[in-house]
Chain A
Amino acid sequence: MKILCLSSRALWLCAFVLSTLLLQSAPVRAQGQDRAPEYFQSDIQYGAQIFATQCTACHGTGGDQIPGVNFRAGQFKRVVSDNDLRATITTGVPGTAMQPFAFGASELMGIVSYLRNMNSYDAHGGVVGTPARGQALFAGAGNCASCHAINGKGPRVAPDLGDIGSLRTAEFLQNTLLDPAGSMLPANRPVRAVTKKDGKVINGRRLNEDTYSVQIIDEHEHLVSLTKSDLQEFSVLTTTPMPSYKGKFSAQELADLEAYLLSLKGVK
């Protein structure tokens, strides 16, 4: 089944596709040193959406309308490596219709992943996610807004997700929703401190750390600076209060939530 192309240009950024195969998230092994070690289905599909709205006018839906270039066949004029692809996309090709595109890292990851796997991709099909529905899940059934803020609006217990769509790839976000502890970045691991003086327990999230001190935001949203020599315990936990949405959300709901997160590009 082919992915449906979205009719609205604005909608492409609001759309994300999650195939049923995607839930298994089998990586596609890349060949050679000039390519990433592997490409992920969620990135490929995110890239497909971007390609459909931004690239097909010149390259065609099959990626073969420019003489000498056939993405599906892996034929390029000047590109060898993934870095070459990124450079060509972000700087354009002077003297041609190929203009520079101001894509973020997650978008570039998606497009490169898609172009590298275009030939095998279209056979899979997928589910289209809608950011508006994802936003409703974020605030409602997902209960995400009880911990995460968006651009400073909301609680600060967990990281602000206002620019998460610029920081993380589609693959990364999908993994986080399905396995939050397994994909939690080290900097987001909760910490627990117990003072020597009065045995006070402080739970929070690290903002900064050095050899002798640590600065955290605690569970009551207080900024706390602790001297390590004053602590009887300082633990970095690998568990997380964030629930897994595996089995809780349908494929469509997951696609919607991811589409919403990918649409969060920060305040310009």
Chain B
Amino acid sequence: MIPTQRTFFLMLLALLVPFALRAQVTPERLLHASDEPQNWLTYSGSYASQRYSSLKQLDPSNIKNLELKWVFQAQSLQKFETTPLVVDGVMYITQSPNDVVALDPKTGRVFWLYHYAVSPAARPCCGIVNRGLAILGDTLFMDTVDSHLIAIDSKDGHAIWNVKVAEPGAGYAMTMAPLVIKDKVIVGVAGGEFGVRGFINAYEAGTGKQLWHFDTIPDPDQPGHESWKGTDWEHGGGAVWMTGSYDPDLNLTYWGTGNPGPDFNAVQREGDNLYSDSVLALDPDTGKLKWYFQFSPHDPYDYDSVQVPVLVNTDWKGTPRKLMLWGNRNGFFYVLDRGTGKFLDGKPFAKVNWASGLDANGRPIATPQPAGVPTYPGIQGATNWYSPSYSPHTGLFYLSTWEDYGTIFSGVSAEYKEGTRYTGGANMAPIPGAENPGGIRQGPINTYTEALATGGVVAIDPHTGEKKWKYPMHDVNTSGILTTATDLLFVGGREGYFQVLDARSGALLWKQNLGGDIIAGPITFLVDGKQYITITAGNSMFAYALRE
């Protein structure tokens, strides 16, 4: 029988549909991203943001056979902070300022490159960086340092839509990877050093139409506004510059917020300054606030609480409970009930003297230091935005730290002027004249010493808040962390070493010097049956797999 044209078309469609569906990243696939360990579908690997993989090809017995497979060199000298997405055999990354690159994860060869010309009005505080993408269907989503959100076709890299999120000339910038929930793309804005008023927006994935808007500094008629005096709230900060998490059962999405403005001169902004330095639980359908928890009320130290919320289901005091684990820049490790925001536990994981502890509600018992005396942790915090990891296999929470690192804080009056820095600080290192670790990248020579700061990786038992082990580093640690089901822990550091540790003991299993700061998180995926690990260092991305 010779098929008719219509029959032929239907047969062809029947053949192609399974492949087409496979290429589509549906909301359902995002919900169960952990069930696809061969892929890496979101910034944090899953909505729970554990940065944990169930892949087992690499294990302690063979990790010494790890071999460099390829290197991708970014066409940029800016910091390289991207976390790739890996979707059915294709990798998508960003490079500064706002390029998207699709490449072969087996060879590092490029399929296409999308270039976005950033407005000269952009003024990100801390480097022209981008941390990654989100995907839904066949569309990638990237926000930009000049505060646009762009939808890009994952097949050929052409822009589908481009919407302006905020005014870059006013100090708004966007550096995070967006978060897709259902049919929405959710993003926040940076700009806490410019006196912006932070917000989170949701956009319709198909059209770019704005669906809801949430101000992190409440309007005068909203709850929380009473935590401000006068008009201080208008430039109150509360920027949102890291990707949130999502609990589909509770239908809540969680986002951390940054410092109040001006950063250091807290006498200019009396009150708790809600919702700065907080975690917000929002309904992703409406943007309505369900609960909040403020880590550092009335913060004079720039202790942004933008860390990625790590969601864990486990027993708590003998009862199954939905927890949120949070290693905060302020030096405390927190356990919250993510259904209610209730504070369950909190303990310092590094040297802290700005507070003597936390009260029963998790509010810090502030102990401001006298003028000229160092406050611990210092400006960059005991950790910062670097993604932590939680391993359900070990039951431990892992994070990168800055240890014994302090700053002599000194607030000075700051006048708000749109688009200019609004920090109000004349801060100093504890040892005058000595090199001090800064927040930006390190050069090839480390001229500061253990007297100013060190770093490391710590493993914390969430049930006790106690450190299970610590892997000390000479330099401060700016790397994200990945753990696997074989109890491997992958971590970089500002020294440029890429290291594999035993996730149970902290013992070093393997290391290699990549020659440049590692300020992003490693990921793992499977292509053609081979497990790969990638990490960015300096201006390049490195891919590893077992020697053949």
What is A's interface to B at a CB cutoff of 8 Å? 33-34, 36-38, 80-83, 167-169, 172, 185-187, 189, 206-212, 236
Say whether A186 contacts B449, CB under 8 Å: yes
Which residues of chain A are within 8 angstroms of B450 by Cβ–Cβ distance? Answer: 186, 236
Residue B251 CB within 8 A of the other chain: no
Residue of B nearest to A238 (CB): B451
Residue B511 CB within 8 A of the other chain: yes
Which residues of chain B are within 8 angstroms of A185 by Cβ–Cβ distance? Answer: 431, 433-434
Nearest CB in chain B: distance from A173 CB, A: 10
Q: Which single member of A172, A189, A210 contacts B475 (CB below 8 Å)?
A: A210
Nearest CB in chain A: distance from B368 CB, A: 12
- B interface, how many residues as a size bin? 20 to 34
Known: A34-B413, A38-B372. A186 touches B431 (CB 8 A): yes
Say whether A210 contacts B474, CB under 8 Å: yes
Could you mark each residue 491-512 of chain B with 1 if its beta carbon is under 8 Å from any beta carbon of chain A, else 0? 0010111000000000000010
Q: Which single member of B413, B435, B448, B473 contacts A211 (CB below 8 Å)?
A: B473
12 example contacts (A-B, Cβ-Cβ < 8 A) are as follows A33-B410, A34-B413, A37-B408, A80-B412, A83-B426, A186-B434, A186-B449, A186-B450, A187-B447, A208-B447, A209-B446, A212-B511
Say whether B411 contacts A33, CB under 8 Å: yes
Residue of B nearest to A189 (CB): B449
Q: Which single member of B371, B413, B435, B475 contacts A37 (CB below 8 Å)?
A: B371
How far is B475's CA from A187's CA once the two chains are assembled, in angstroms? 13
Which residues of chain A are within 8 angstroms of B412 by Cβ–Cβ distance? Answer: 33-34, 80-83
Which residues of chain B are within 8 angstroms of A37 by Cβ–Cβ distance? Answer: 371-372, 408, 410
How far is B431's CA from A168's CA once the two chains are assembled, in angstroms? 13
Could you mark each residue 231-269 of chain B with 1 if its beta carbon is under 8 Å from any beta carbon of chain A, else 0? 000000000000000000000000000000000010100
Which residues of chain B are within 8 angstroms of A206 by Cβ–Cβ distance? Answer: 449
Say whether A212 contacts B497, CB under 8 Å: yes
Given contacts A210-B497, A211-B493, could you give 18 more A-B pairs where the C-beta distance is less than 8 Å?
A33-B267, A33-B410, A34-B426, A36-B426, A37-B410, A81-B412, A81-B413, A82-B412, A82-B426, A83-B412, A185-B433, A186-B434, A187-B447, A187-B449, A208-B444, A208-B446, A210-B474, A236-B449
Residue B202 CB within 8 A of the other chain: no
Say whether A209 contacts B410, CB under 8 Å: no
Which residues of chain A are within 8 angstroms of B545 by Cβ–Cβ distance? Answer: none
Residue of A nearest to B410 (CB): A33
How far is B435's CA from A19's CA once the two chains are assembled, in angstroms? 30
Say whether B413 contacts A168, CB under 8 Å: no
Q: Which single member of A83, A169, A172, A186 contacts B451 (CB below 8 Å)?
A: A186
Could you mark each residue 399-411 of chain B with 1 if its beta carbon is under 8 Å from any beta carbon of chain A, else 0? 0000000001011
Residue of A nearest to B452 (CB): A186
How far is B475's CA from A211's CA once the two chains are assembled, in angstroms? 7
Residue B223 CB within 8 A of the other chain: no
Say whether B413 contacts A80, CB under 8 Å: yes
Say whether B411 contacts A207, CB under 8 Å: no
How far is B435's CA from A207's CA once the two chains are assembled, in angstroms? 13
Nearest CB in chain B: distance from A106 CB, A: 10
Say whether A172 contacts B432, CB under 8 Å: yes
Which residues of chain A are within 8 angstroms of B372 by Cβ–Cβ distance? Answer: 37-38
Say whether B448 contacts A187, CB under 8 Å: yes
How far is B447's CA from A185's CA once the two chains are assembled, in angstroms? 11
Residue of A nearest to B455 (CB): A211
Nearest CB in chain B: distance from A28 CB, A: 13
Which residues of chain A are within 8 angstroms of B444 by Cβ–Cβ distance? Answer: 208
Say whether B446 contacts A210, CB under 8 Å: yes
Which residues of chain A are within 8 angstroms of B435 by Cβ–Cβ distance? Answer: 187
Residue B445 CB within 8 A of the other chain: yes
Residue of B nearest to A30 (CB): B371
Residue B208 CB within 8 A of the other chain: no
Known: A80-B413, A83-B426. A209 touches B265 (CB 8 A): no
Residue B27 CB within 8 A of the other chain: no
How far is B495's CA from A81's CA once the two chains are assembled, in angstroms? 37
Which residues of chain B are within 8 angstroms of A168 by Cβ–Cβ distance? Answer: 433
Residue B472 CB within 8 A of the other chain: yes
Residue of A nearest to B448 (CB): A187
Which residues of chain B are within 8 angstroms of A186 by Cβ–Cβ distance? Answer: 431, 434, 448-452
Which residues of chain A are within 8 angstroms of B448 by Cβ–Cβ distance? Answer: 186-187
The 8 nearest A-B residue pairs measured at CB: A186-B451, A37-B372, A210-B495, A186-B449, A81-B412, A211-B474, A211-B473, A208-B445
Which residues of chain B are within 8 angstroms of A83 by Cβ–Cβ distance? Answer: 412, 426
Residue of A nearest to B411 (CB): A33
How far is B511's CA from A37's CA once the two chains are assembled, in angstroms? 45
Interface residues of B in 405-424 (CB under 8 A from A): 408, 410-413
Q: Which single member of A33, A36, A208 contacts B265 (CB below 8 Å)?
A: A33
How far is B474's CA from A208's CA once the two chains are assembled, in angstroms? 11
Say whether A207 contacts B445, CB under 8 Å: yes
Residue of A nearest to B511 (CB): A212
How far is B267's CA from A189's CA once the two chains are assembled, in angstroms? 40
Which residues of chain A are within 8 angstroms of B511 by Cβ–Cβ distance? Answer: 212
Nearest CB in chain A: distance from B137 CB, A: 44
Could you mark each residue 447-469 of chain B with 1 if its beta carbon is under 8 Å from any beta carbon of chain A, else 0? 11111100000000000000000
Nearest CB in chain A: distance from B449 CB, A: 4
Which residues of chain A are within 8 angstroms of B431 by Cβ–Cβ distance? Answer: 185-186
How far is B450's CA from A236's CA once the two chains are assembled, in angstroms? 10
How far is B264's CA from A81's CA once the two chains are assembled, in angstroms? 14
How far is B426's CA from A83's CA once the two chains are assembled, in angstroms? 7
Q: Which single member of A36, A82, A187, A211 contacts B434 (CB below 8 Å)?
A: A187
Residue of A nearest to B264 (CB): A33
Nearest CB in chain A: distance from B433 CB, A: 6
Nearest CB in chain A: distance from B159 CB, A: 41
Nearest CB in chain B: distance from A87 CB, A: 11
Which residues of chain A are within 8 angstroms of B411 by Cβ–Cβ distance? Answer: 33
Which residues of chain B are within 8 angstroms of A208 by Cβ–Cβ distance? Answer: 444-447
Residue of A nearest to B471 (CB): A211
Which residues of chain A are within 8 angstroms of B472 by Cβ–Cβ distance? Answer: 211
Known: A38-B372, A186-B449, A186-B452. A209 touches B474 (CB 8 A): yes
How far is B104's CA from A15's CA once the two chains are assembled, in angstroms? 66
How far is B429's CA from A175's CA once the two chains are assembled, in angstroms? 18
Residue of A nearest to B494 (CB): A210
Which residues of chain A are within 8 angstroms of B451 by Cβ–Cβ distance? Answer: 186
